[in-house]
Every structure is written in structure tokens, then in C-alpha cells.
Structure 1
Amino acid sequence: MTSPEQPPPGYTHDDPDLAPSPVTRADLDGLLASVLFGPADQEALRTAGEVLGGQIDQILDVWYGFVGSHPHLVAYFSTPDGEPIGDYLARVRARFGRWIVDTCTRPYDERWLAYQQEIALRHTAPKKNRTDRADSVPHIPLRHVIAFIHPITATIRPFLAAAGHDEEQVDAMHQAWFKAVTLQVALWSQPYAGRAW
């Protein structure tokens, strides 16, 4: 996995030129309340980050295996003719690994909000393919982004349990992860919904 000192290509969380998010701090606070995310979840996510940090490649193998077994998902990383783009998949994978770490360790502040908006835009026509100069389809439908909440959440539990924490601690980490993923998908829906968001 790429180290924090060497971010993967296209990873721009700390880029000072990253455009601010249209989502306000008040919007974020409301969403945090809506998913019941509180200080105990922050603490559980920090622990999850420690547990998951050494397992990133194995987690990505599971997730990419899931995507790879569904042609309708692979299509979003393929040419318009349906040929998977290896370099594109590899670059997205590296950023996906960084996203796991960020989900557990980054403060949910304005900088984080700005990068969530960037991630969202990279799923939609304005920025899909641009970061990696990929000759792929121009848009990932929101329905698939939402549906991905379940596999990303269900498959993480064995990895959270791998460090020997007791069942209550694993449950706490798993629930915090579920809340954090749901929160981010809600944020990623903003460009799709526009003013209706």
C-alpha cells in the first residue's frame, strides 16, 4: 500500500487548490446526527484504523474480487466497448486503500468535506475518468454507489475481528464503520441530487 508520505496518483486530499465542498459544517453535523455518529464511534474508528492498517491489500482483494465477479460493475472501469482498463483499476485501487485509512483516521472537517466532494464528482460526468485520463464510461449511476454500502460493510467485519478484540469491541468498530460509510455515500450523492440534496 502507498504510504502517507507517498500518496497514490490522483489522491488530492491535502491539495490546497482543492475546491471547497458546497456541503456546510451544519449540513455535516446534521448528517452525523442522522447516522447516530458520536464520540464513541470516533474512538471505535480510530481502533478500526489500527486493526485495518496492516490488512489493506487483503481487503482490496476481497472488494475487487466482488467487483470483478459482476460484469455490470466492471463496466465502470472498462472502455465503452467493455474491455477492462488495468491501469485505471490499479490507480483506483490505490486510492481506495487510502480511503479505508482516511475513513478511520481523518478528522471530518472542511478539508475532508472538500475531498468527499471530489470523490463524488469523480463518479459523475464532470470528473469521471479525468483524474486517470481513462477511456471509460462517463458516469457511475447513484444506485450502484448506494448499493455498495452493504458489501463494503459486510465484508469488513472479519478484518475488524482479526486482531483479537472481544465481540463487543468488534461490534463497536463495525457499527462505526457502517455509519461512516453511510455518511460518505450520503455526501457523495450531492452532485447527483444537486439542489434537491
Structure 2
Amino acid sequence: MQTVVDNIAGYSYGAQELATSPVTMKDLDLLKQTITLDSEDSRYLRMAGDVLEDQTDSLVNLWRGVISSMPHLAYYFKDKQGNVDEEYKAKVKERFKQWILDVCFKPYDQEWLNYQHEIGLRHMYTKKNKTDAVEAPPHIPMRYVIAFTAVVNDTIKPFLAKKGHSLGVIEKMHKAWCKAVLLHVTLWTRAYCDDEGW
């Protein structure tokens, strides 16, 4: 199971130089309670990870196809001349594939919390483009980060259904996945907000 990697450009999960998330573990616990993400969901998430592990490339290709079909989203992978930066897209794709596995397999601990904050920072002025040293637009509005959650959650179910599980198990994996993605995206929005606003 490829749950730990050290050869993906810009993938710095657990790196000491990452900032500590301003979200506390207590905050995280309250968020998990609010989303109703519990131990049963964690079990079905791991099951989903087993199902999705060899499908990450196809899944990210599907998501990237949606992004490419919408000029207002494709814009964020273009250089100043309006050309798509294919090298940048390729690097981000590998991190996106790993993110699927991280959602399912990583313990939601302090290291994980710190990396979620890092992902949020990489979508906005603070760190966008710096990881890959590119000249794409420097900020993705939070509204698009949140709204794309619908695509990520709506398209996952056919992939979860490809390994012969019962409909009931597929539903439980999908429910757990949707809760976990909502938790991730909620944490990413912290980078966009001040203390009072979040």
C-alpha cells in the first residue's frame, strides 16, 4: 500500500519546516463532531482507500477533465501568456493522487493537521506557485475550493463500486469519504480567514 511517499515533488507531509496549524486538536475534535465523522467512518475510509489505491490516476484525470472544461478553473494552471503549464499540472496531479490516499489512510493527528493548513496556504497568495516555482495566477478564490467539493464527492461513487462490495458497504464508504473531504476543505479555508472569521 503506497501510503507513504518520498518521491513526489512538493509533497512535504510531516516536514519540520511546515508551520503549525492555527487549528488546535480540540478545534479538530469539535469539527469532527459537527461533521459526525466517527470511528465507523474511519473504518470505511480505510476500506475506501483499499478500493481507490489503484484508481487514483483515473480519478484525478476525471477531476482534471472537469477543471479543464471550465475556463474559469483552467485559468489557474496557465502562465502569464495564457498557456497551460503542463509541468506544473503534472506535479500537482501527483500530489492530488497522494491526497486521495492520505484522506483514507493517514491518522488525523497534528502532522496531518499541519499539512492541511499548508494545502490551504498553497491555494492562496501566501504560497500559491512557490512550491513549484511557477508563474500561474497567484490565488484561487476560496469559493472555487469549496464549490469543487461537489465534483470530488459526486464522482467518487462509481470508483468505490468497482471492487465488488455490496451496495450497503459502497454507501458507507461514500458517506465516510464525503464527510472526510468536507473536513479537509473546511480546514483549508482556515488559511483564508482571520481568527474571528473562521
Which residue is 1:33 aligned to? 33
Output the amino acid matched with 2:27: D
Which residue is 1:158 aligned to? 158
Q: State the TM-score, normalized to the length of structure 2.
A: 0.96
Instruction: Give the unaligned 5+ runs of structure 1.
Output: none
Q: State the TM-score, normalized to the length of structure 1.
A: 0.96
Which residue is 2:179 aligned to? 179
Q: Helix, strand or coil: the match of 1:19?
A: coil
% same residue:
44
Q: In 1, Cα distance between the equivalents of 2:3 and 2:147?
A: 29
Instruction: Give the unaligned 5+ runs of structure 2.
Output: none
Matches within 5 A, 1:79-90: 79-90=79-90
> How far apart are residue 16 of structure 1 and its match?
2.2
Output the amino acid matched with 1:27: D
> How far apart are residue 80 of structure 1 and its match?
3.1
> How far apart are residue 3 of structure 1 and its match?
7.5
Output the amino acid matched with 1:21: S
Give the length in aligned residue pairs. Answer: 196
Whether 1:74 and 2:64 are equivalent positions in the alignment is: no
- Counterparts in 2 of 1:146 and 1:19: CA distance versus 1, 3 Å: same
Kindly report the root-mean-square deviation, in angstroms, between the aligned alpha carbons of the 2 structures.
Answer: 1.2
Q: In 1, Cα distance between the equivalents of 2:140 and 2:11?
A: 19
Q: In 2, Cα distance between the equivalents of 1:75 and 1:168?
A: 39
> How far apart are residue 82 of structure 1 and its match?
2.1
Which residue is 2:53 aligned to? 53
Q: In 2, Cα distance between the equivalents of 1:113 and 1:5?
A: 18
Q: In 1, Cα distance between the equivalents of 2:81 and 2:157?
A: 36
Which residue is 1:8 aligned to? 8
Which residue is 1:109 aligned to? 109
Q: Helix, strand or coil: the match of 2:193?
A: helix
* Structure 1 residue ranges, 4+ long, deviating more than 3 angstroms after superposition: 2-7
Which residue is 1:167 aligned to? 167
> How far apart are residue 193 of structure 1 and its match?
1.4
CA displacement, residues 90-143 of structure 1 (integer Å, 9 cap, x when unaligned): 000000000000000000000000000000000010100000001111100000
